[in-house]
Chains A and B, each alone.
Chain A
């Protein structure tokens, strides 16, 4: 409250000063009849001249003091060119700035209003107009052409090095998820839907895609000196911006629109520290660490698009190293899959009909020689194939009424075959899995698939199989075997699979 009062008093005091000045001016005008205006205009001229000098001196001082503190030299191939472009523009602007501002303020001083002075009326001059239109046009066109030329180089997809690294960066409130493709150089697919995006799988990685099994998340971005890298950028929630100031990289990360940036780092972090150790400002001691500033220098990734309350905290370290150091680092990373593997729902491999299998002696109805029944029997008979959680047999002739868990009559043949197999191998126990395509709500699909699996179990029990030998579970639209984008694929995905749990 006292601060507020002090502040209010200061404001009032200032107002009183202005009023006193005004009053004394009026008083002197009344006293000797001289127009204060003439004097004012002269003083205005002096002030403007003073302002001109002060402004140039101030700008020069800022350049001197602040330039050494600014982000140091560019450390990417395109960054050097960007800087050249920037500096060229800056020099041209500075020249024009100095000339026009000097003229502006000098003229205001030189030709200030005074008694008996008439302004010279000079309305038009074609030559001058052409000059000040044509010259800026040429200069600006030149600058834009230079810029376009560099831009096209930076974003020329054909000119990219085929052996470049690819790093995937996904932004979210409020951190960066940096994914490397691991040893195989291939990223596992990502599926952006309710089911795949979970707290343990924020990127929605499709673990059934084997390429994902060696992908890893890095806590720092490691790059190799001289090795181009393509950053594939994305965002999950709001706009962010991928900003690597030292590399002169800035690219928006937009939910729903992939963006990318191709960079070739030219200087390792250590080399950069060595370079900075020769720079005066960087040699000064940082009071927080008690060491020269260059010692703790790091390349940095920051977010450059206001994205919410902790936007300022969206930072990550970038480390540029040699190939050898990179390989060493790479070998120490653990794949994401390792930590999630145990939590994944069982099953990854589905055995389909039409694969070779020996014909069994069990009497099967309507089953082709390569049919799924024979595959199952082959598995049961083959002692070298252990019971596991990943081998499922896809029964292709168990059909249901649309949207219901009622088995159609033609399913009977395959049901009877299952009963025959179970009767021939009394030790065998089975798990029945129900699946759907991805049409409709995931929760509804899950329920339906569960009901269907249980319907099959109930049917087998009716045909005399002990309930204790059977287990049933629905998996909804997970684990598709066909492409959900085609009707054919969706038909394949609406199915019942069977896994041997004991033999």
Chain B
């Protein structure tokens, strides 16, 4: 109820304001109001709905693999109905188990907590609590959601390919994820390519959103609201955004280099490892070729700095 009153007040002032200008401008179509909306409240709802969807998917996955954990020797024929070859005879295959755990982690950490929660609450609360009409850039805000949706579509698609979704753990460590070899790990095939594509889109979304939150908090506070009078929530959301903006580019770089290793035969993360009794050495030595150690270290650093997000 409360939000809808505010909604009204807001649209009313909006009305008065634009009246003097062009008449047709403020007439919102279904498309601009609900789909390609630049209104922070609507975008927040879009994030919320997408986030809830992912919450349900992530939760369902945890139920499925908990079934296997809790009753390792039972068979559940209905699983075969739903999952087909991934649960032959009603038992989840080890490969699909790992794929589900990996996607559960990915979905809950990135698509629910970061996208769903941060996207929903930052978008809804920041303009309200710093006292501004909307975000610093409503258009970028819209893009942020659409990148998120794009990322969601790609991640969801990866469930439906023949070799299944990524299955090397949500941390995506090399070398297991660095080899585009489904013999080493089934999900390291196309599934992981899609994972990286999805994460790339997701990171774009987070960066666009984060920059917007920071700019809004720093520049659009209402008269008299100094940084220290700002509610604690705003500090928390701003810091989350700052840490995100600092750590996500590193994660993105790590992911892209990993994909180079997979598709272009570079050796950022892979050398001197033995796969099927074959020693993989420097395949293509690039100018700043790094060893396995520094490679996995970079990813670890990105991930661990990323962890700090949850401290707040």
Interface residues of A (CB under 8 A from B): 1, 3-4, 7, 37, 172-173, 192-194, 197-199, 202, 236-239, 254-257, 305-312
Contact = CB atoms under 8 A, between A and B. Distances in A.
B44 interface: no
Given A192-B272, A193-B279, A199-B277, A1 B292 contact: no
Closest 5 CB pairs of A and B: A238-B176, A306-B169, A256-B292, A3-B81, A236-B274
A237 B94 contact: no
Given A193-B279, A308-B176, A308-B184, A236 B1 contact: no
Contacts of B292: 254-257
Contacts of A256: 271-273, 291-293
Interface string B218-234: 00000000000000000
A37 B186 CA distance: 52
Interface in B128-179: 167-169, 173, 175-176
B173 A310 contact: no
A198 B82 CA distance: 44
A311 B98 contact: yes
B94 A312 contact: yes
B185 interface: yes
A254 B296 contact: yes
Interface of B: 1, 77-78, 81-82, 94-95, 98, 101-102, 167-169, 173, 175-176, 184-186, 271-275, 277, 279, 291-293, 296
Nearest to B275: A237
Contact of A236 (B81, B95, B176, B273): B273
Contacts of A238: 173, 175-176, 184-185, 273
B299 to A, nearest CB: 11
| Majority DSSP secondary structure for residues of B touching A | mixed
Contacts of B272: 192, 255-256
19 contacts: A3-B77, A3-B81, A172-B274, A197-B279, A236-B274, A237-B175, A237-B184, A238-B184, A238-B185, A239-B173, A254-B293, A255-B272, A255-B273, A255-B292, A257-B292, A305-B173, A306-B101, A306-B102, A311-B98
A239 B279 contact: no
A307 to B, nearest CB: 6
Nearest to A311: B98
A237 B280 CA distance: 9
A239 B176 contact: yes
Nearest to B80: A3
A396 to B, nearest CB: 33
A386 to B, nearest CB: 38
A237 B273 contact: yes
Contacts of B275: 237
Nearest to A257: B293
Given A238-B175, A238-B273, A37 B1 contact: yes
Given A237-B184, A239-B175, A309-B98, 13 more contacts: A194-B279, A197-B277, A199-B277, A202-B277, A239-B176, A254-B292, A255-B274, A256-B271, A256-B292, A256-B293, A306-B168, A306-B176, A309-B186
Nearest to A307: B176
A255 B175 contact: yes
B181 to A, nearest CB: 10
A80 B9 CA distance: 62
A132 B173 CA distance: 38
Contacts of B175: 237-239, 255
Contacts of B95: 309
B98 A306 contact: yes
Contact of B94 (A192, A239, A309): A309
Contacts of A306: 98, 101-102, 167-169, 176
Contacts of A310: 94
Contacts of A4: 81-82
Contacts of A239: 173, 175-176, 296
A3 B78 contact: yes
A430 B1 CA distance: 101
Contacts of B184: 173, 237-238, 308
Nearest to A129: B232
Contacts of A237: 175-176, 184, 273-275
A305 B168 CA distance: 9
B185 A308 contact: yes
A255 B279 CA distance: 12
Contact of B274 (A3, A197, A311): A197
A7 B173 CA distance: 37
Contacts of A254: 292-293, 296
Nearest to B95: A309
Contacts of A202: 277
Given A197-B274, A239-B173, A309 B296 contact: no
A238 B292 CA distance: 10
